[in-house]
Amino acid sequence: MFIDVKEKKNFLNWFVTHASFSRREVCWILNYLANHEAILNNVHFVENADATNRGLQIRDLTAQGDPMRLFISGKVFEDSDQIFHEIRLNWKEALYIECLFDNAWENPGYLSILEDNPFMKWNENIDPTVIDSVNQFLLEEEQIARMNQLYQEIDQALETGDKERFMRLSEDVNKELQQHSRQKTAD
């Protein structure tokens, strides 16, 4: 996915002016990136930058942890001079940046530049309880849809005077209700 350099630059400028950092070097590096479009061409904003071969995590004061960490092939660097020189000297290489700040998922500027992390797909790290909750919700919605469909068919059978179909559909509704109550007691 191609993200326009102008959008990246706009976000970085917004981030520098709206976030507070515990080290001023973070602002310097972000400004450096925003002012060098050749580097920004190779910058990708992702989640889990620590899983990439060359990733930079940047945290404002609202996020726990070090304000800036560079991950290169499993090694971690926190010294701002090392980080700056790595970015400056290897500007042609892909750099994956993760910005950690409060309400990041509600920020349209950040969401517009966020890309899939090629080193860690989003669906590889979903909490199993979330998956269970989604599956349970879908099952309940499916049952509600089935019940609504059965009630509509019962109404049709009543309107047409089809007693046999009415009885069969009523049995189906009772079975669905029994199955639903068994599921509720099992949960």
Residue with tokens 């089809």: 162
Whether 120 and 135 map to the same domain: the answer is no
- DSSP letters, 35-99, are T-HHHHTTEEE-S-GGGSSEEEEEE-TTS-S-SEEEEETTEEE--HHHHHHHHHHTTTS-EEEEE
Whether 114 and 132 map to the same domain: the answer is no
Q: Give residue-wise pLDDT tens across range 53-76.
A: 999 999 999 999 899 999 999 899
Task: For residue 147, give every residue at least 6 positions away whose Cβ sits within 8 Å of its Cβ, in sequence order, or none.
Answer: 173, 176
Task: For residue 78, give every residue at least 6 positions away whose Cβ sits within 8 Å of its Cβ, in sequence order, or none.
Answer: 66, 68, 69, 70
- DSSP letters, 131-155, are HHHHHHHHHHHHHHHHHHHHHHHHH
Q: Give residue-wise pLDDT tens across range 156-184.
A: 999 999 999 999 999 988 888 888 777 77
For residue 118, the domain's CATH number is: 3.40.1530.30
Q: Give residue-wise pLDDT tens across range 90-133.
A: 999 999 999 999 999 999 999 999 999 998 866 566 677 877 88
Q: Give residue-wise pLDDT tens across range 9-31.
A: 999 999 999 999 999 999 999 99
Distance (Å, rounded) from C-alpha 91 to C-alpha 94? 8
pTM recorded for the entire structure: 0.67
Last residue of a domain, one of 96, 124, 152: 124
Last residue of a domain, one of 72, 94, 124: 124
Rounded alpha-carbon distances, angstroms, from residue 160 to 43, 114, 148: 66, 56, 19
Identify the domain containing residue 160 by its residue range.
Answer: 128-186
Whether 135 and 118 map to the same domain: the answer is no
